[in-house]
Amino acid sequence: MKPRPFEKIPYIIAVTHIGPLPGNPRYGGSIEDSIEKAVADAMAAEEGGAHGIIVENYLDHPYPKDEAGPLKVAAMAVITREVVKAVNIPVGVSILRNCAPEAAAVAHAAGASFIRVNALAQTVVSDQGILEPVAYRLATAEALMRWSPYVMADVNVKHAAPLAPRPLREVIEETVRRGGADAVIITGTATGRPPTPEEVAEARNHTPEGADLVVGSGMTPENIRHYLSHAHGFIVGTYLKNKEGKIDPKKVKRIVSAARP
């Protein structure tokens, strides 16, 4: 497992939601708005004290599965590179849905340090269809690039369900030991919904030594304290947004403060 890119535990990773991008039927013809939003969000996250920022094409729905396409990959690389240049905190990449090799390529080209993967070593049924594990494709891409990002992988990912439910211990162990994840992400059932503290505690008990456990949805200043004894870090998207969908540095400060041990 690779060293985590974040200096403090617990760490707060903000998410900038961008899109629609080239290759999406709703794309408007220019990526400048997405660049501007991503950079502004990243700077707001850093101002508020976040320890990292993920560039994610959340507004790019409907998502294809397992393949981003050259237009989207190129756009994500340009946008992510501008974010990397704008801030001094680690930058990650998430390309929906489950496009891990493409996310790794973008991270490498743009100078980002980590990626998020929805189905690294687990088959799940989602609104995009059946998402199959991409660990082999990701490892192949890493070998070709001669570079590997820090890999944060979902287990029982939100907006999906396991095709064949298995004990959580087995899924986590295979995600880390066979799939190559450096951190395991536990979420609620959907964006903005938290997992239960009991689910996170169980996941932490099964997370192999050296790997991080991260809560990936539903965190607020009011509930995060219930997870601090179990999680190494938190990915926060929905709570941080203002009415215009932009990251509010004041909200970042609140949740960073609430996460202090």
What is the DSSP secondary structure assignment for residue 28, as one 8-state letter? Answer: -
Q: What angle do CA 207, 10, 80 make, to 5 degrees?
A: 95
Beta bridge pairs of residue 53: 14, 91
Beta bridge pairs of residue 13: 52, 235
Smallest CA-to-CA distance from 246 within 60, 27, 79, 15 is with 15
Tokens standing for 211?
A: 């790997």
Q: 123: Cβ–Cβ under 8 A, 6 or more apart, which residues?
A: 130, 131, 132, 133, 162, 163, 164
Q: CB–CB of 235/54 below 8 Å? A: yes
- How many Å apart are CA 52 and CA 50, to the nearest integer? 6
Tokens standing for 195?
A: 């997992």
Model pTM?
A: 0.97
- How many Å apart are CA 89 and CA 81, to the nearest integer? 13
In this structure, which topology does domain 11-255 adopt according to CATH? TIM Barrel (3.20.20)
- Domain locations in the chain as residue ranges: 11-255
- How many Å apart are CA 162 and CA 186, to the nearest integer? 13
Q: What is the pLDDT along the chain (261 residues), one digit of tens a residue?
A: 899 999 889 999 999 999 999 999 999 999 999 999 999 999 999 999 999 999 999 999 999 988 899 999 999 999 999 999 999 999 999 999 999 999 999 999 999 999 999 999 999 999 999 999 999 999 999 999 999 999 999 999 999 999 998 999 999 999 999 999 999 999 999 899 999 999 999 999 999 999 999 999 999 999 999 999 999 999 999 999 999 999 999 999 999 999 987
Pairing outcome for strands 114-117 and 150-155:
parallel
* Length reported for the chain: 261
Helices 32-48 + 249-258 axis angle, to 10: 40
Give the residue carrying structure tokens 């507004």.
59
